Each structure stands twice: as C-alpha cells, then as structure tokens.
C-alpha cells in the first residue's frame, strides 16, 4: 500500500512539474517574441460619413490583403514585421497611405471622410508623435479615439463580403493607385507613417 501511495505521490509531483513547465512556456513564448513585429492601428471617429462603412487593405505587393470592415467608432489592429508598407482604404473610391515601421512599436492612423460624388470618400492619415500635425498623439482627440473606438476583427461575414466584392476592390485599386503616385512628394510625405511615429 505504501509503495502504491509513493508511486501516486511521485506521479503527481511529476505531472505538476510538467504542467508548470508548459504554463511557463506558454507565458514566456509571447514575451520572447515581443518586439519582433510592429502594430498598426487604423481608427475611425467622425460624425461626418458615420453611416458609411469603409474597408482596409494591405496592398504592399501584388496581393490585396483584406484587413477588415471599419465602421465609425471602430479600429483595426494589424501586426507586421518591420519594413515598408502600403495600405488602402476603400469606399466610393480608394485612397492610400504608405508606412515604414520599426519592430516593437505601435503606429496609429486616422481614417477621415471627404466629399465624394455620391457619398463620403475616406483618406488615411498618420498620427504623428512630434506634435507638428493636426493628427498627433499629444492631442485630446487621440486619447478620445483610443478610448472610444472598439476593436473589430475579421469574421466569416466580413470574409464573405470580401469574396463577393473582391473584383470591385481590385478595380478601385487599379484605378486610384496611379492617381496616388502622381501626388507631389510633399503630399506623399504627409501621408506616410515614419519609424519615429511609433509609440
């Protein structure tokens, strides 16, 4: 009987040790990878055009990567390796924003409405950390946007929407990308996230 109890005790200790090791690895693994990617957060918060949905994409290369449908007072978080990117927002038309991001930092972009032919169109702007622009991390608006926007993620419904409208999205990308490339260098610089814009 004592041998059996001793066996149970040894087995229990071994099991607890194994579980503890697994839990520790589960917690430490993300920590070990922390800083290996950058986070880009796209936010919407405006009364104008509030009823109109927008969609956000990574169009850095030939593939159009769907990041999500963005309603007013929502935000999308997107993790990427350090490097250069091109993002696109689509509604009635398409508009773009370029970015160069560093690992371990979080970058923010505000998506704002502008006049369109039939409904509001939208543009993407970087939120700076140096206080030199209208959209900056020191403003009261920024604190409000962070607090009052709700995180949204991809789901079956949004993925089904993209599959249904993919041809239209690609058509707008093809039509409006040359327009973007013709912008003045100063305008492009104002619409580009820089490595130092990260928090």
CA distances for 55 relative to 14, 27, 102, 154, 182, angstroms = 51, 34, 25, 11, 23
CATH number assigned to the domain comprising residue 47:
2.60.40.2890
pLDDT 10s digits, 131-155: 778 888 988 888 898 999 999 999 9
Closest CA relative to residue 38, chosen from 78, 90, 66, 75: 78
Could you give the 3-state DSSP secondary structure of residue 120? coil
Instruction: Tell whether 91 and 2 lie within a shared domain.
Output: no
- Are 18 and 68 found together in one domain? no
4 and 73 assigned to the same domain: no
- What ranges make up the beta strands (E) of 29-102? 38-44, 54-58, 65-70, 74-80, 83-90, 94-101
pLDDT of residue 132: 76
Q: Whole-angstrom Cα distance, residue 53 to residue 91?
A: 7
- Say which residue the tokens 């109109």 belong to: 52
Under 8 Å between Cβ of 193 and 100: yes
Measured between alpha carbons, how far is residue 59 from residues 14, 34, 56 in Å?
50, 25, 10
Query: Is the domain of 118 the same as that of 171?
Result: yes
Q: Same domain, yes or no, for 51 and 66?
A: yes
pLDDT tens for 13-48 read 333 333 333 222 222 223 334 467 999 999 998 655
- With a CB cutoff of 8 Å and minimum separation 6, the contacts of 38 are 79, 80, 81, 82, 101, 102, 103, 104, 105, 106, 107, 198
pTM of the full structure: 0.78
Beta-bridged to residue 77, according to DSSP, are 41
Residues 30 and 42 grouped into a single domain: no
Residues 91 and 5 in one domain: no
Q: Residue 43: beta bridge partners?
A: 75, 110
For the chain, what is the domain count? 2
47 Rama sector, left if φ>0, alpha if ψ -120 to 50, beta otherwise: alpha
Q: What is the pLDDT of residue 176?
A: 96
Q: Range of 78's domain?
A: 38-197
The DSSP call for residue 83 is E
For residues 30 and 70, membership in a common domain is answered with: no
Each residue of 62-103: pLDDT tens digit?
A: 999 999 999 989 999 999 999 999 999 998 899 999 999 999
Q: What is the mean pLDDT of residues 162-189?
A: 96
27 plus 106 within the same structural domain: no
Instruction: Report pLDDT for 149.
Output: 93
């Amino acid at each position: 009987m004592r041998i059996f109890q001793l066996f149970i005790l040894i087995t229990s200790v071994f099991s607890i040790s194994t579980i503890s090791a697994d839990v520790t690895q589960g917690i430490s693994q993300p920590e070990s990878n922390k800083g290996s990617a950058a986070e880009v957060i796209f936010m919407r918060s405006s009364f104008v055009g509030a009823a109109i949905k927008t969609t956000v994409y990574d169009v850095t290369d030939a593939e159009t990567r769907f990041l999500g449908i963005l309603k007013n007072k929502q935000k999308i978080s997107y993790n990427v390796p350090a490097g250069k990117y091109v993002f696109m927002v689509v509604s009635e038309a398409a508009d773009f924003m370029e970015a160069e991001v560093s690992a371990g930092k979080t970058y923010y972009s505000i998506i704002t409405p502008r006049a369109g032919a039939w409904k509001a169109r939208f543009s993407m702007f970087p939120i700076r950390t140096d206080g030199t622009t209208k959209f900056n991390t020191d403003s009261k608006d920024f604190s409000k946007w962070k607090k009052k926007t709700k995180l949204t993620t991809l789901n079956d419904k949004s993925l089904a929407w993209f599959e249904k409208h993919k041809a239209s999205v690609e058509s707008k990308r093809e039509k409006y990308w040359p327009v973007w490339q013709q912008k003045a260098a100063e305008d492009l610089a104002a619409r580009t996230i820089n490595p130092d814009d990260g928090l």
